[in-house]
Chains A and B, each alone.
Chain A
């Protein structure tokens, strides 16, 4: 017999359960631990005969090999669970798409947030997140310049660096950094003392808005007096248990507290822009899926980038806030692509739209449903054409080699607003509409 591998475990388990229960399985929850070992839990009344329980457990144990936690532990009744609610009401319990009445809880070391429900439907104040799979796509520059645009529109914005170096590096020179930064605030938050006074010391006004009617403040990852930066960084993702609420809280919960504290300031900003850094990790998952923010997914038209987005979307399909039919509060309405550094030709734009649509198809509703099933569900899939105004429809940022050399710190060397507008086209007004209005769809461009 070939040793079972990670990839085959779930399918083998479902096959065996299918043989046992046929088309009408009991409500089944699969729990996969950090190593990939699997536990199957079903209601106590799923089978009456205890010999039957043992036989099924044995079969699963044999099939799963090293991925079985042992023949006595692989198949559990609900009454075997110490606190059944921890499993059955877990924020990480998601529908398993390929089987009926089956849920999966995946215990991960990182990236646990992607599938969880957002903590709030609306953030305490308008919030935008810049995310990208790869770095170097101009994400940080775009958000820094967007803040400038907003300041021109008399808006008061805070730019938050979720990891250094980010917007702070583009907007602040060394002498004008604040004393502290986000990591300092986060480690205080870790022990349950989110500190508004400290938050003020983490933010500084940016000279870019000096001549504008609005205001830009920057909250960098660390400040001039920040000590032990790396040590702090190693702590901020840690889930902590809050005895007073009886709940675990992680980076996402703490970032929400940050937004709440910003919203409570007497000089509260009109909007917060969060630069979430590149790649699939906890900062991304917390900011993209859990804050209720509008998310801008930056991508260049590159094969690797689309492949990675495809992987992310395949994962997000199982998210608790993603539902066939795409209801009002579906996660997908919050997301929208940004075509970064794209040549301003029709061909390049069309190609981007087409690629983006292909990638999003993994994450859009399927129409491969029988009409009767639709009738039973009483719903229709939310379908999009490539030309439609769905999340795949990007806002375009032109490729302009001058952008790389834009100096936003030295007021003498600052690019003219006209040069900025030339490169960024309609990105700023479009993004602003998305950020400030409740209408989540985007104009076709």
Chain B
């Protein structure tokens, strides 16, 4: 038994209530700053937040929008600078360059961009206009163009010398005080086909590259993994490799997921005090408070994390260790084929587990019962599947066609299921929902495009992975939600 586990005893009932109160887990759709007590910074995310790194890669739920909102708010980004000691964050001035806000105010929304492009304005002029506008507002200058994006973009196209002059001036002024940082989030929603998105995204990236020669103007792009494939045309401009060679990924390790939960408990109105006291009395943990929020302790090690998890859930996923160890089982069952994890999954899983335990095992001697944990993970899978359908609607018809089949499947078995009609339905799903179609498949120039490319797209999306014997397998987080079965040799008696 974990040594620390034997020292820790949490009150089952109050801890269960505290876990039921975990924050809501919807995807972040606004720029509203999160509570300080909800900001857990995984060690590896420091780089991603630093103004010096332009490209940040994150799958759905990895925190792209969350960090955009955190950076956008002065109080929260200062908090992160201090709490997580991220360099260069303390003195930034943040403006949003493209996001979910449809107001058309700080940046053109998707419809405006499309209409500008259709009237043959250059994509680079659009982004220059966005940048220039933010710069002039920062300098407190009157805008030399009328309101409305068309006026701004048209002015930029005809006054390139002045654009440069204003930006240099702004750079100078910023240098004396701070920095401007432009954030681009939700760039996948810029357009619904790869051709359009390539043009507009490339232009933004080129501008980002140009600005690297300035001292105080920086861009940061939060991009989906399928947008940073080096061989894609998005990156076919001079020196793009300078952007690509350092692209931190918003990666969550299993212990980071537990960190999210612990941070919540430490700040909980129900059990915060008890949790903090038990840990500081029984372990080496020391708490720090900043702006009213308790910080995640720095000196917390793996054994300690495991001990705390086991004090909440028990060590095993059943009555004995046979069914696995909770501490390793949970992350395994929440991860995709690339072993990627999302903090939303753990929040959801623990919340659901607490609710299940409350309803079904109210007298259980731990906060969470393993059956509840199992239910929580199923629930988290359902949400992950829903998110996948939202972001990549083309996946759904393909996986639906596999319902009832058993993985691993051979390529031929996949081909049998994915008929021409099924693939067409997949492509239609993308266009109806105004989302990007599968990247490789859409780019494949071969007539009657190749299914290999489509399979590669799913592998890239971590929905499928190739096994050593060249079949295709699927992680549980997607498999269960789509009613796909698992092969095996032992059958029930007949």
Contacts and interface: CB of A to CB of B under 8 A. Distances in A.
Contacts of B493: 95, 324
Contacts of A261: none
B323 A441 contact: yes
Contacts of A369: 485, 491-492
Interface string B323-357: 11100110011010001000000000000000000
B322 A333 contact: yes
Given A385-B333, A388-B332, A441 B324 contact: yes
A389 interface: yes
Contacts of A323: 490
B100 interface: no
Interface stretch (A49-57, A156-164, A351-359, A394-402): A351-359
Interface in B291-326: 316, 320-325
Given A324-B492, A333-B322, A441-B325, 20 more contacts: A100-B494, A323-B490, A324-B491, A324-B493, A351-B468, A365-B490, A366-B485, A366-B487, A366-B488, A368-B486, A373-B492, A383-B476, A385-B332, A387-B339, A389-B328, A439-B322, A440-B320, A440-B322, A441-B323, A443-B328
A71 interface: no
A367 B469 contact: no
Given A324-B493, A387-B332, A366 B324 contact: no
B161 interface: no
A11 interface: no
A363 interface: yes
Contacts of B467: 354, 358
Contact of B488 (A379, A381, A386): A381
A131 to B, nearest CB: 19
Interface in A48-101: 95, 97, 99-101
Contact of A324 (B333, B485, B487, B490): B490
A219 to B, nearest CB: 31
A364 interface: yes
Nearest to A332: B490
Contact of A441 (B321, B406, B468, B491): B321
B475 interface: yes
A351 B333 CA distance: 20
B345 to A, nearest CB: 15
Interface of A: 95, 97, 99-101, 313-314, 317, 322-325, 328, 333, 351, 354-355, 358, 361-369, 373, 377, 379, 381-383, 385-389, 437-441, 443-444
Interface string B399-427: 00000001010000000000000000000
7 contacts: A324-B493, A366-B485, A366-B491, A369-B491, A387-B335, A389-B324, A440-B321
Contacts of A354: 467-468
Nearest to B328: A444
A348 B33 CA distance: 44
A444 B326 CA distance: 11
A389 to B, nearest CB: 5
B447 interface: no
Contact of A388 (B320, B329, B408): B329
B307 to A, nearest CB: 15
Contacts of B408: 358, 361
A52 to B, nearest CB: 24
Nearest to B485: A367
A368 B485 contact: yes
A368 B492 contact: no
Central interface residue in A95, A362, A389, by most chain B CB within 10 Å:
A389
Nearest to A443: B325
B24 interface: no
A368 B468 contact: no
Contacts of A365: 488, 490
Nearest to A358: B469
A366 to B, nearest CB: 4
Contacts of B323: 382, 441
B227 to A, nearest CB: 27
Contacts of B475: 385
B489 interface: yes
Contacts of A361: 408, 487-489
A382 B194 CA distance: 43
A251 to B, nearest CB: 27
Contacts of B333: 385
Contacts of B487: 361, 366-368
A367 B406 contact: yes
A364 B468 contact: no
A323 B490 CA distance: 7
B192 to A, nearest CB: 34
Contacts of B494: 99-101
B488 A364 contact: yes
A88 B369 CA distance: 43
A366 B489 contact: yes
Contacts of A313: 489
Interface string B61-82: 0000000000000000000000
Contacts of A440: 320-322
A383 B467 CA distance: 17
B431 to A, nearest CB: 34
A366 B406 contact: yes
Nearest to A371: B483
A389 B316 CA distance: 11
A440 B335 CA distance: 25
A388 B489 contact: no
A198 B327 CA distance: 49
Nearest to A354: B468
The 10 A-B residue pairs with the shortest CB-CB distance, nearest first, are A439-B321, A366-B488, A100-B494, A324-B492, A367-B486, A362-B489, A367-B485, A364-B488, A387-B332, A441-B321
Contacts of B468: 351, 354-355, 358
Contacts of A373: 492
A333 B320 CA distance: 12
B111 to A, nearest CB: 44
Contacts of A97: 491
Nearest to B332: A387
A389 B326 CA distance: 11
A4 B320 CA distance: 50
Given A358-B469, A444-B328, A383 B489 contact: no
A132 B335 CA distance: 33
Interface in B451-494: 467-469, 473, 475-476, 485-494
Contacts of A324: 490-493
B435 to A, nearest CB: 29
Interface in B83-128: none
A317 B325 CA distance: 26
A437 B493 CA distance: 31
A104 to B, nearest CB: 13
Contacts of B488: 361-368, 381, 383
A383 B321 contact: no
B297 to A, nearest CB: 25
A10 to B, nearest CB: 15
A323 B476 CA distance: 23
B320 A439 contact: yes
A385 B406 contact: no
Contact of B490 (A322, A437, A439): A322
Contacts of B492: 324-325, 369, 373, 377, 379
Contacts of B406: 366-368
Contacts of B320: 438-441
Nearest to B484: A367
A358 B468 CA distance: 8
B322 A383 contact: no
Contacts of B476: 383, 385
B332 A383 contact: no
A331 B339 CA distance: 30
Central interface residue in B320, B406, B467, B486, by most chain A CB within 10 Å:
B486
B152 to A, nearest CB: 51
Nearest to A389: B324
A323 B493 CA distance: 8
A440 B316 CA distance: 12
